[in-house]
Amino acid sequence: MKKLCWYAIKMKVLIVFGTRPEVIKLAPLIHEFKKYPDLFDIRVCSTGQHQEMVKSIISFFNITVDYNLNLMRENQSLTLLMANVLIGLKKVIDEFKPENIIVQGDTTSVLAGSIVGYYNKITITHLEAGLRSGNKFSPFPEEINRKVVGSIADYHFAPSNIAVDNLFKEKITKNVWNVGNTVIDAIHMALKFINNVGIYKNFFLSRKIDMSKRIILVTAHRRESFGNHFVDMCEAIKVIGEKYDDVVIVYPVHLNPNVQRVAKKILSNTNNVYLLEPLEYPFLVWLMSQSYFVLTDSGGIQEEAPSLNKPVLVMREVTERQEGIKAGVSKLVGTKKENIIKEASALLEDNQIYKSMIDAGNPYGDGTASKKIVDIYKKMKLESYK
């Protein structure tokens, strides 16, 4: 096994991402690494698993993509995507010859990145390591992706003590650090940028959304919910929109055609419900900051919302983000229509319940994860001289 070459003049590191949350969570780390051009030769590879949905994020965070595999195809299967990422990444590795590959999270691009690294005896670093739901098919296919990446990776940056414990339970105890989640670094970067309130508010006003009402931000896209669960989720949103006239539901719809089709069929022309295109990251963060609460199945949004002091109702049967549940800032409401309506109504009508879900701080990090990670890289590099 080729060991990380900490003693080299510059360490050659390939950072791989494919989807929206990966770019957001890797952006602060890329910037932190780039502060040390004498120590690290950082190259960034986008697999292109997502296309439109990452374009504005790459430009917002001012990231230079060195390799783009351009792999997105309409509604492509996991198998084809996986095969193409493996083939595409092999070419990048043959050209750049990295000593270390960094992957973040649990997507197909992450799984492929770690497998290509393993096949080529390159060390793998896994960010957001140790998340586990304990259910092989939920989230699907992310739970198994993470477990496989965890078993391959050489360096594990976990976001919490719970995640560290999950790794320990699987006997992964070496090179494990709890650094918090880099998504908190990212949201801090976005919040610094969002100073021109006018632009953001006008964007939503121009879509005829009454911003003086209480806003519920909705997102949903998980594969394990496709079918009846997703129909139930949309029907619940419809009922809530029709029930409360002092509320607007703003739902930027994920571009997955399986999500688009159902969301549009059930929710178009529903009172107080606004379906939008996926929002550019600062617009999403601004909207979240203005919202009353968030109704979502997103992993990243569960982590971000506590930084803006917003309660989260999680439309999933299980969640690997237990930290928010334990802190009381998020609540698992499942995917059944009646329960979603009940829990959303309780938050809208009962101030005591609402208050009990705010002011607990963010259990997912403090905005310093990227610095901690790069400090660990720098330390390991220095120690290799000894």
Indicate if 128 belongs to the active site: yes
In this structure, is the dihedral angle defined by the CA atoms of residues 44, 278, 250 and 128, taken in order, positive or negative?
negative
Of 22, 128, 154, 224, the catalytic one is: 128
Question: Which C-beta is closer to ligand UDP: that of 114 or that of 219?
Answer: 219
CA 43 to chain CA centroid, Å, is 21
Residue 284 interacts with, from ligand UD1, ligand UDP, none (CB under 5-8 Å by kind): ligand UDP
Catalytic: 224?
no
Question: Is 21 one of the binding residues for ligand UDP (CB under 6 A)?
Answer: yes
CA distance 112 to 129: 16
Q: 320 an active-site residue?
A: no
User: d(Cα 332, Cα 334) in Å, to the nearest integer?
Assistant: 6
CB-wise, 20 or 229, nearer to ligand UD1?
A: 20
| Nearest CB to ligand UDP, comparing residues 11 and 279 | 279
CB 9: neighbour CB atoms within 10 A? Answer: 8
Sole window of 29-37, 109-117, 166-174, 300-308 interacting with ligand UDP (rule: CB under 6 A)? 300-308
Residue 100 in contact with ligand UDP, rule: CB under 6 A = no
Q: In whole angstroms, what is the distance from residue 335 CA to residue 354 CA? A: 21
* Interactions with ligand UDP, residue window 231-270 (CB under 6 A): 252
Side chain identity at residue 88, one-letter code: G
Q: Pick what 124 binds: ligand UD1, ligand UDP, none; C-beta below 5 to 8 Å, kind-dependent.
A: none
Give the active site residue among 22, 32, 142, 185.
Answer: 142
How many residues bind ligand UDP (CB under 6 A)? The answer is 16
Contact positions toward ligand UD1, by CB under 6 A? 19-21, 49-53, 72-76, 78, 81, 106-108, 141-142, 221, 255-257
Minimum separation from the CB atom of position 299 to ligand UDP (A): 4
Catalytic residue among 223, 235, 280, 366: 223
DSSP reduced 3-state for 161: helix
Contact by Cβ (8 Å): 13, 100: yes
Mark whether 22 is an active-site residue: no
**DSSP track, 189-246:** HHHHHTT-HHHHHHHHHTTT--TTSEEEEEE---GGGTTHHHHHHHHHHHHHHHH-TT
Catalytic residue positions, numbered: 106, 128, 142, 221, 223, 254
